[in-house]
Amino acid sequence: MSEQYLRYRSLWLIIGWSLVSLVIYGSLTTSPVQLDISYFDKFSHLFSYFVLMGWFVQIYTKFIQHFFWALFFVALGIALEYLQALGGVRYFEWADMLANSTGVLLALVLTKTRFASSLHWFETRIGLIRFH
C-alpha cells in the first residue's frame, strides 16, 4: 500500500500530530491524570507511544520511514523525561523511557500484521456509507 492510497491522508496527519501534542502536554503538565491503579503510569506510557507509532506507520509505509518514526518517538520519550526532571514538579524515570520505547517497538512489530492497514480499512468502510 503506498502513501498516496490514503484518501484522507491530511486528516490522518492532523490527528497524528494532535496525538503527539497531547502526549507532550500530558508529559509536561504539572497535574497529569493519575488513577489509583497499579502500574497505570507505565501502562499509559507504553500505550501512548504504541498509539503514536502505530498511527504514523499507517501513513508512512516504507521500512526506512518506520525506522525514522521509531527513532523519533524513542527520542521524544527520552527528551520529555529530561524535560520533566528540569521542571521540578515531575520526575525523571528510566522505567518511563523503557515503557515508551516498548510501546514503539510493539507497534513496529505489528506493522507486519493487518494492524498496519487499519486506516486504509476504515477509509474503505467510510466509502461504502452513503450520506443523504
Which residue would you say has higher pLDDT here, 125 or 105?
105
Q: Kindly report the pTM of this predicted structure.
A: 0.85
Where do the structural domains in the chain lie, given as residue ranges?
A: 3-128
Longest dimension (CA), the chain: 55
C-alpha dist (Å) from residue 16 to 66, 103, 131: 15, 16, 26
What value does the mean pLDDT of the chain take?
Answer: 87
Q: 58-72 pLDDT, tens per residue? A: 999 898 999 999 999
d(C-alpha 11, C-alpha 110), whole Å: 23
Best CA proximity match to 56, nearest among 43, 44, 67? 67
- Does residue 73 surpass a pLDDT of 80? yes
Nearest by Cα to 76 from 30, 25, 116, 110: 25
pLDDT the model gives residue 103:
98
